[in-house]
Amino acid sequence: MYRLYKEQLIAENAESDIVSQSLYEKVFKTKFNLSFKLPYKDTCKKCDIFQTKTNSRKALENTSDNVKALEDVNMERELHHRQVDLAGATLRKDKEKAINGECTVLAFDLQKTISLPKVPIGVVYYKRQLSCFNLGIHDMGTSKGTMHLWHEGISGRGPNEIGSCLLKHLNANPTKETVVFWSDSCGGQNRNLKLVTILMHIVQDPAQHVKEIIQKFFIPGHSYLPNDTDFSHIENKMRCNQTIYHINEIQSIMKTCRVKK
C-alpha cells in the first residue's frame, strides 16, 4: 500500500508530499477504522462459483445478454445468502429454547485430525503418525462442551462412530424429550442413512426417554458451529506443549484448556 501511495503521488507530481513509511503506517493504524483479516481456509463452493461468474461477466462487453446473466447470478447469490441467514436465525431461536428448558439442543462436529507424536523434529513429518479423532458435542443450553476422543487403532470416523458418540452422550447426560441436533452437511459422517437409523433406534428404544429427535444442517461452507470455539481452546493449549506423545496427554489438555470458564 505504501508503494502504491508513492507511485500515485509521483504520478501527480507531488513528490514533496510523500511521507516516510513509518509515519504512513502510524496514521493508517491509528486514524482509520480499518483492519486486515486472514482469508478463510474453507470457503463456500457456491459463493466461489458466483464470484467467478460475476468476474467473468464483468470482463465481457456490456451487452444485454451479459447484463441479464449478471442479474441472474446476483439473484442466486442473494437467495443463497438468505438461506444462510435463515439457518443462523434458526440456530439462535433453538438456543433460546434450550436456555428456557423447552428442549435440548446439541451441536456436534469433528475436530481436525490430531497426529501423534507431536515432537519438534522435522523428520517426523515424513513418518507414519497415529491419527486421533475428537467429536465435540456442545450443549447450547448450558454452553458445556463434551469431547469424545479415540485413535485410528480403535476405530475410524464414519457415521457408526459418530452415532455411537451421540448415543453415549444421551445416555450419560439428562435431556429433554425433544432433542435437536445441529451439524454440518458432511454426507460421509452426519447426513446419511446410517446415522438416521441410529437416531431412530434412540427414539424407539423404550429405555430412552427421548421421544423426538430433530436433525438440522447448516448450509455447506457456512457452518459456524459453537464447537469451533471449543476446538480453538484445545488447539491453543496444544500449541503451548512442544511435545505430546500419548493420547492421554491430549485428554489432559482438553480437561485444562478452559479452566477459567
* Residues 168-201: tens digit of each pLDDT: 999 999 889 999 999 998 888 888 999 999 999 9
Range of 26-30, 38-42, 139-143 with top mean pLDDT: 139-143
pLDDT of residue 260: 63
The listed CATH number (3.40.50, 3.30.200, 1.10.3470, 3.30.420) that belongs to domain 102-256: 3.30.420
E-strand stretches of the chain: 104-110, 114-116, 130-139, 144-151, 178-183, 212-217
Distance CA 135, CA 110 (A): 4
- List, by residue range, all CATH 3.30.420 domains of the chain: 102-256
Name the residue with cell 463434551: 146
Residue % of the chain over a pLDDT of 90: 47
- Judge whether 132 and 150 are in contact, CB under 8 Å: yes
Return phi, psi of residue 26, to 5°. Answer: -65, -45
* CB distance 166 to 108 below 8 Å: yes
CA distances from 199 to 23, 159, 176, 210 (A): 62, 11, 15, 10
The pLDDT, as a whole number, for residue 134 is: 96
pLDDT tens-digit map of 122-153: 888 888 899 999 999 999 999 999 999 999 99
Residue 198 cell numbers, joined:
441410529
Taking the C-alpha atoms of residue 133 and residue 224, their distance in angstroms, rounded to an integer, is 20
Q: What is the DSSP letter of 127?
A: S
C-alpha cell at 67: 447484463
Give pLDDT, residue 187.
86
Query: What pLDDT score was predicted for residue 50?
Result: 85
Confidence bin at 65 (pLDDT 50/70/90): confident
Q: What confidence tens digit (pLDDT) does each residue in 216-240 have?
A: 998 888 888 889 989 999 999 998 8
Q: How far apart are CA 145 and CA 230, in angstroms?
A: 7
- The pLDDT score that the predictor gives to residue 161 is 95
**Cα dihedral 179/182/183/184 (nearest 10):** 140
pLDDT at 15 over 80: yes
Radius of gyration of the chain (CA): 25
- CA 152, chain centre distance (Å): 23
Quote the CA–CA distance of 241 and 249 in Å, as a whole number.
Answer: 10
Give yes or no for residue 41 having a pLDDT over 90.
no
SS3 117: coil
Element (H, E) at 84: helix 64-99
Band of pLDDT at residue 241, cut at 50, 70 and 90: confident
Sign of CA dihedral 108, 112, 118, 120: negative
Q: Is the pLDDT of residue 34 over 80?
A: no
Residue 73 has pLDDT above 90, yes or no: no
- Nearest to 83, CA basis, from 216, 218, 190, 215: 218
- Residues ≥6 apart with Cβ < 8 Å to 112: 231
For residues 104 and 227, what is the distance between their CA atoms, to the nearest angstrom? 16
Q: Does the structure show a pLDDT above 80 at 38?
A: no
CB contact at 8 A, 225 and 96: no
